[in-house]
Chains A and B, each alone.
Chain A
Amino acid sequence: MRILVLTQGVPDLVEGLEVASDGVSLDQDWLKYVLNDFDDHALEEALQLKADGGVEVVAVSLETDGSRDILFTCLAKGADRAVLVPGDWFGTDNHQKAKALVSLVKAIAPDLVLTGVQAPADADGQVGVLLAGNLRWAHVTTVKEVRLAEGKATVVKELEGGTGARYQVALPAVLGIQAARVPPRYVPVSKVRQAMKTGQLEEMEAPPEGDTVLQARKLYPPPSGERAAMLEGDADTVAGELVRILREKGIGRLAG
């Protein structure tokens, strides 16, 4: 059983995001790319399946700043292979990515593709289900648990309100992972560095395909018309002010 984990480097939201002078894209000067949090869960779920037995994990990443680090981290965490898809993927949309990945996925020939349920900038849809659509493969997304048995996957899909729905999924399939069954593992830097010394990154070409389907007109921060009234001062001042407000509104024990 082979599992392909599709990972993406995404802009780190800890940094303030600024709009570039073209008005439709992000200013890249300060952008730092990190592994998409949900992809980290997808990798973890794949590694859990590997621990269950009989699974080979192939991590794939579309090249961005930091994608080599991401792939070596995947290797250090326990992926068996790591594949870099070279190119400048900044500015390509998910439709283009998904189309480009079709031939690559067929070449790697996994039984299952796991990827994060979403990424921070899925303007035109989430890449996992788009990929499944292009491959005409089965898919389930918002998945929080995957089990494999007898050539099929049984998954728990998370519905609104957190209820789980169980599905049996014929393989090959693409699963969008909402959360792994355990929190993603921390991998010590020395293991990552070890992987950098001894591990191999394979490179497989998959140039973007097709035109951007949605034309960007304007990228902008949400209007801040109805923002919160901001309280200022040190912790004690703010606390005092809040207590006054809560009393006024009759909240909890401060009522009456």
Chain B
Amino acid sequence: MSDEIWVLAEFVGDQVAQASSEALGAAKRSAEAGGRRVVAVVLGRDGGDPALRSLGAADTVLTVQDPGLKDFSPALHVRVLEALLSDRKPRLVLMGNTAAGLELGPDLSARLGSPLIAYCRNLEFSGDTVVGTTQLYGGKLLLEVETAAAQVLAMVAAGSFPAVTEERDVLVEAIASPVSLADPETVFLGLEVAETADVDITQADVLISVGRGIGDAGNISLAEELAEALGGVVSASRPVVDQGWLTKSRQVGKSGKTVKPKLYLAAGISGAPEHLEGMRDADLIVAINTDAAAPIFEVADYGVVGDCTEILPALTEAVSSQG
């Protein structure tokens, strides 16, 4: 059985992505406990690429040098990784539960017959068995699972493991693509130009953020009034944006913006993991929700069980009366 733990590394520009640093954190923990080696796997970068220095937390780096892999293509990346994983048989393969990870994890798992732990919150070896914890039902429940399979894949949920970053000259193994990259089934065409935003929620000190619990579009004015009274801006969770009640530029969370305001007031937001990812680092989090079991209360500093359409106006009034 191989003693390698692989981390499929992603970059933002020339820096390792936060999700990959956290996956490296998870990998190092498992490696230290069992005398295993951590290999960061990079697709599409040259062996001499200085960006690889940001993967110093790994023991070694394996990079597939073909420039055709630099832009993420689900089909090509799966092709290459399927070949590498079958050939080198790493014991554990970790990746972020990211837009790219969601393409790679399930497909590789189906092709290789290696079990996959999605939304992985915790991971450890118990002898030869891998024990992982996955997050279900929007974070309302956790499921602990085990598998004795020879190779296990895991998509690591954001914020579950400490990010480990180290800048150093790390030993790099640079190889050519083990498979042909001809005729890809998915071809990257380019990035969309972002919509011009009416407001930049990432710059706001105070965010009054509304979720499904706000009830209807008409009630968003309740949040706007409070935001105005406090000197803040209204943001939202995904369902509110999907309903077309607020623009995409105001969305907080995995597929929206990551924010770090002084106050994040979550009104009627239950706190799905994808949302928490975008706001858990706010200085002060206040949550209002009718469901006392809502996961948002796990990350909030202060919580109120109640209807936000009642509490927001009361709060606006209380703030306004402070003169």
Contacts and interface: CB of A to CB of B under 8 A. Distances in A.
B181 interface: no
Nearest to B227: A252
Given A133-B106, A138-B185, A254-B230, A216 B191 contact: no
Given A121-B136, A132-B107, A170 B185 contact: yes
Contacts of B257: 161-162
Nearest to A221: B141
A239 B115 contact: no
A19 B188 CA distance: 43
Interface in A200-256: 213-222, 224, 226-232, 235-236, 238-240, 242-243, 245-247, 249, 251-254
B262 interface: yes
B147 interface: yes
Nearest to A231: B304
B263 A213 contact: no
A214 B192 contact: no
Contact of B137 (A11, A141, A157): A11
A108 interface: no
A221 B142 contact: yes
Binding site of B, secondary structure by majority: helix, strand, loop or mixed? mixed
B119 A122 contact: yes
A167 B110 contact: no
Interface of B: 19, 72-75, 78, 98-99, 102-103, 105-111, 115-119, 131-132, 134, 136-147, 149, 155, 185-192, 194, 205-206, 229-232, 238-239, 242-244, 248, 251, 254-258, 262-263, 270, 283-287, 291, 293, 295, 297-306, 310-311, 313-315, 317-319, 322
Interface of A: 11, 13, 16-17, 19, 24, 26, 37, 41, 94-95, 98, 117-118, 120-126, 128-134, 136-142, 154, 156-170, 173, 176, 178-179, 182-183, 213-222, 224, 226-232, 235-236, 238-240, 242-243, 245-247, 249, 251-254
